[in-house]
C-alpha cells in the first residue's frame, strides 16, 4: 500500500469508527436526543432543516468571504506600504499588533454598540484575518535573497522594478501562508461576532442558529449547525491550500512532493 492512500485511508477509518462508536453508544444506552443526538439524527436534521440552515450558512459564508477579501486587499496593501516606507511601518505596526493581541471576543460587544450587527460581524472577521496576512506578507517582502537584491542594484533597477520583479514574487509563498491562516480565522471572527450579537441582531448566521437552538433545547440542530461550521472551515482550508499549490506550481518546495 502506498503512502498517499494511507494519508487518506487512515484518518477516514478512524473517523468512521468514531462515528460508529458514537451511534452505538447512543442506541445501546438509549440516550435522549436532547442530551446527545446520534450522528444519524444530526445528518437527518441537516436534511430536514436545510431551508433554515442553508440560509444561515449563506449569511456566514458571505460574511467570512467578504472579510477574507478585505483582509487580503488590506493586509497585502499595508505590507507593501511597510516595505516601501519604513516610517509607515513604524507608525502603524503597533496598532496592528494591538488589534491582534486584544481578544476578538472582547472587542465584539463594543463593535456591536457602534455598528449595525452585519457590519460588526464583518469588521470582527476582518480584524482577525487581517493580521496574519499583513505579518506574513511583510515578512515575505523583507526576505528576498540578498544576492538577488545586489543583482538588482547592479543593474540599477528602480524601486518599482525591485518590488514588482523581486519582492512580490519572493513574498508569494508567505502571502499564501498568511491567507491560509487568515481564512480560517475569518470564520472564527465571524462566528464570535454572531454569538456576541446573539438574539439581539437580525443577523441570522450559523452561530445565531446555535444560540437560538440552544434556547429551544433543540440539541440536534445545534449539532447540525456546528457540523456546517466545521465543514465551512475545512472547505476554506482546502480551498486556500489548493490555491497555494496551483500558484506555487513548479518553483516552491512546499508545493512539491519529494521524489522518493
Partner 1 sequence: MSAPIVSLRDVSKSFASGTLALDRLQLDVGAGEFLTLLGPSGCGKSTALRLIADLLEPTSGAVDWRSGQRPELGFVFQEPTLMPWANVFDNIWLPLRLRRISRANAQKNIEEALSLVGLRDFANAYPRELSGGMKMRVSLARALVLEPAILLLDEPFAALDEITRLKLNDDVLRLQQELRMTVVFVTHSVYESVYLSSRICVFSARPGRVIETINIEAPGQRTTEFRHSQAYADYCRRASAALESTLAKATA
Cα 75 from Cα 139, distance rounded (Å): 12
Residue from 148, 174, 149 nearest 79 by CA: 174
178 HSE (CA, 13 A, CB side): 28
Residues that bind partner 1 (CB under 8 A): 145, 147-148, 150-157, 161, 165-166, 169, 172, 250-253, 256
| Complex with partner 1: residue 24 or 164, whichever CB lies closer | 164
H-only helix segments in the chain:
3-29, 39-48, 50-84, 86-101, 104-114, 117-142, 146-154, 159-161, 168-197, 206-215, 219-248
| Complex with partner 1: residue 151 or 242, whichever CB lies closer | 151
Give the cell for residue 116: 449595525
| Complex with partner 1: residue 82 or 152, whichever CB lies closer | 152
| Complex with partner 1: residue 34 or 251, whichever CB lies closer | 251
Tell me the backbone φ, ψ of residue 224, rounded to 5 degrees. -60, -45
Give the cell for residue 107: 472587542
Q: Report the nearest approach of partner 1 to the CB of residue 227 (Å).
A: 39
* Cα dihedral sign, 101-87-126-253: negative
DSSP 8-class letter at 199: G
| Complex with partner 1: residue 172 or 226, whichever CB lies closer | 172
Q: Report the nearest approach of partner 1 to the CB of residue 28 (Å).
A: 56
| Complex with partner 1: residue 216 or 250, whichever CB lies closer | 250
Q: Between the CA of residue 157 and those of 83, 145, 154, 165, 219, what are the distances in Å?
A: 16, 15, 8, 10, 63
Q: Report the nearest approach of partner 1 to the CB of residue 259 (Å).
A: 11
DSSP 8-class letter at 139: H
Q: Report the nearest approach of partner 1 to the CB of residue 157 (Å).
A: 5
Q: Report the nearest approach of partner 1 to the CB of residue 154 (Å).
A: 6
Q: Report the nearest approach of partner 1 to the CB of residue 252 (Å).
A: 7
Amino acid at each position: 500500500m502506498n503512502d498517499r492512500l494511507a494519508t487518506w485511508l487512515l484518518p477516514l477509518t478512524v473517523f468512521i469508527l468514531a462515528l460508529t462508536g458514537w451511534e452505538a453508544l447512543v442506541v445501546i444506552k438509549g440516550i435522549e436526543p436532547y442530551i446527545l443526538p446520534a450522528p444519524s439524527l444530526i445528518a437527518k436534521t441537516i436534511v430536514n432543516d436545510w431551508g433554515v440552515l442553508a440560509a444561515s450558512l449563506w449569511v456566514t459564508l458571505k460574511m467570512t468571504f467578504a472579510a477574507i477579501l478585505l483582509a487580503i486587499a488590506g493586509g497585502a496593501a499595508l505590507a507593501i506600504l511597510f516595505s516601501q516606507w519604513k516610517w509607515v511601518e513604524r507608525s502603524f505596526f503597533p496598532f496592528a499588533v494591538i488589534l491582534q493581541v486584544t481578544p476578538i471576543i472582547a472587542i465584539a460587544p463594543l463593535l456591536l454598540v457602534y455598528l449595525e450587527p452585519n457590519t460588526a460581524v464583518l469588521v470582527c472577521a476582518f480584524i482577525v484575518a487581517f493580521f496574519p496576512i499583513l505579518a506574513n506578507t511583510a515578512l515575505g517582502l523583507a526576505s528576498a535573497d540578498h544576492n538577488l537584491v545586489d543583482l538588482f542594484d547592479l543593474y540599477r533597477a528602480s524601486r518599482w522594478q525591485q518590488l514588482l520583479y523581486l519582492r512580490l514574487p519572493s513574498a508569494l509563498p508567505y502571502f499564501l501562508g498568511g491567507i491560509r491562516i487568515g481564512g480560517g480565522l475569518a470564520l472564527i471572527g465571524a462566528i464570535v461576532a454572531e454569538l456576541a450579537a446573539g438574539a439581539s441582531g437580525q443577523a441570522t448566521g450559523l452561530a445565531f442558529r446555535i444560540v437560538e437552538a440552544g434556547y429551544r433545547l433543540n440539541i440536534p440542530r445545534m449539532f447540525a449547525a456546528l457540523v456546517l461550521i466545521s465543514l465551512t472551515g475545512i472547505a476554506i482550508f482546502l480551498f486556500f491550500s489548493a490555491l497555494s499549490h496551483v500558484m506555487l506550481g513548479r518553483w516552491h518546495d512546499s508545493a512539491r512532493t519529494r521524489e522518493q
